[in-house]
């Protein structure tokens, strides 16, 4: 492997996370300016520019905002962004390979690395030794999204840190509405329900994180605090871990089994409630049988898909110390919506 910038100079991947319009871009500009004054190479990786516009067109669907679908669709695009960073680390002068071109905006990526490749006031020798900083600007509302960046930093023994921009919902909505291309307010309102900020107590890999309150104007003290965090990350790169694939698979299976078992119990209770509601509304026997059949078939399909998803989602057990109760609730909410639709249909047929 071409060593590229890895091994020649310290490198840090800094995740900027928070709600839309929380001030990530503003903070990034301040950090880039400060890094330049220090003689660092620094580049901004803005996910909104790198990910093609069509990937964002599912933000609002006819039946409301569905962040889980957004997460699923964006995952491939986010991974393509990280592949570009990885390729740059290995071969700085080679642009993203064509297989990534359909998932990211190559022109936007070229702009990202231009300042890194040609930093002002640094000759070639200085540039090769200058610290390298990548600021990753995205919402990163799930820990699993941030964990993918952590994995990349660990793989190449890079520095890693996270900055959570805490801004109240009303301010984010107001700032968003003043933008030339605002995103739907419903997206921000739904995202605030799902957003999980860095939690070092829960996830040990998030230890190198700070929170900056951006409801008010960003202060010089805030910028200094973030720069100190980044400097510490540059000085203390992560260490690659030994391959523990077998243990990881065992842990994933154990966790998935627990989630599916608890989801099964919750689904059974929901089915019982639906059957009770139908009886209280004097649904005819043939319709009761149809209701029971449809609900049980729906449960079986739901649990099968849930188990398959848990076993194939690598970051599910690697990225978090799993809050099983939270995962079960999220999953069962999906089944509950289908249960209500089935019950409503049967009761309408019974009229």
Give the pLDDT confidence of 7-27 residue by residue, as tens digits: 568 999 999 999 999 999 999
Yes or no: domain 11-235 corresponds to CATH 3.40.190.10:
no
Q: Is 173:70 a contact under the CB 8 Å cutoff?
A: no
Run of H or E including 292 = helix 285-312
Query: Cα–Cα distance between 110 and 259 in angstroms, integer?
Result: 43
Q: Tens of pLDDT along 125-150?
A: 566 778 999 999 999 988 888 999 99
Q: Classify each residue of 259-271 as buried b or exposed e, where b means 16 or more C-beta atoms within 10 Å of its C-beta.
A: bbebbbebbeebb
What are the structure tokens assigned to 178, written together?
Answer: 């003043």
Packed helices 24-37 and 220-235: angle between N→C axes, nearest 10 degrees: 60
pLDDT of residue 19: 93
Window from 186-190, 273-277, 283-287, 313-317 with minimum mean pLDDT: 313-317
pTM above 0.85, yes or no: no
Q: Characterise 176 by phi-psi region: left (phi > 0), alpha (psi -120 to 50), beta (else).
A: alpha
What is the pLDDT, as a whole number, of residue 102?
59
* Average pLDDT over all residues of the chain: 81
DSSP class of residue 6 equals B
Q: Where in the chain is the domain with CATH 3.40.50.300?
A: 11-235
pLDDT digits (tens, 9 = 90+) for 57-105: 444 443 344 444 454 556 777 888 898 899 888 887 666 454 445 577 8
């Amino acid at each position: 492997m071409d060593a590229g910038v890895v091994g020649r100079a310290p490198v840090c991947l800094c995740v900027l996370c928070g709600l839309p319009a929380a001030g990530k871009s503003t903070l990034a500009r301040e950090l880039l300016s400060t890094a330049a004054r220090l003689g660092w190479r620094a580049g901004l990786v803005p996910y909104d520019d790198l990910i093609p516009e069509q990937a964002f067109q599912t933000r609002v669907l006819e039946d409301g905002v569905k962040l889980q679908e957004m997460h699923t669709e964006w995952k491939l695009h986010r991974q393509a962004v990280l592949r570009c960073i990885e390729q740059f680390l290995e071969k700085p002068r080679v642009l993203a390979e064509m297989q990534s071109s359909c998932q990211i905006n190559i022109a936007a990526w070229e702009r990202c690395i231009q300042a890194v490749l040609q930093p002002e006031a640094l000759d070639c020798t200085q540039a090769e030794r200058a610290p390298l900083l990548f600021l990753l600007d995205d919402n990163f509302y799930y820990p699993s999204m941030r964990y993918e960046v952590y994995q990349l930093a660990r793989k190449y023994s890079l520095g890693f840190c996270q900055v959570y921009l805490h801004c109240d919902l009303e301010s984010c909505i107001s700032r968003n509405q003043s933008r030339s291309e605002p995103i739907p307010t419903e997206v921000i309102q739904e995202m605030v329900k799902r957003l999980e900020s860095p939690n070092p107590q829960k996830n040990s890999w998030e230890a190198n994180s700070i929170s900056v309150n951006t409801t008010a104007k960003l202060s010089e003290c805030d910028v200094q605090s973030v720069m100190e965090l980044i400097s510490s990350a540059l000085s203390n790169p992560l260490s690659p871990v030994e391959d523990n694939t077998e243990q990881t698979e065992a842990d994933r299976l154990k966790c998935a089994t627990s989630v599916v078992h608890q989801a099964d119990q919750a689904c059974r209770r929901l089915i019982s409630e639906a059957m009770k509601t139908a009886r209280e509304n004097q649904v005819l026997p043939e319709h009761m049988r149809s209701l029971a059949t449809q609900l049980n078939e729906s449960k079986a399909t739901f649990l099968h898909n849930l188990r398959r998803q848990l076993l194939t989602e690598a970051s599910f057990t690697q990225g978090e110390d799993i809050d099983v109760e939270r995962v079960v609730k999220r999953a069962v909410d999906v089944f509950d919506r289908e249960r209500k639709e089935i019950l409503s249909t049967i009761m309408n047929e019974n009229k």
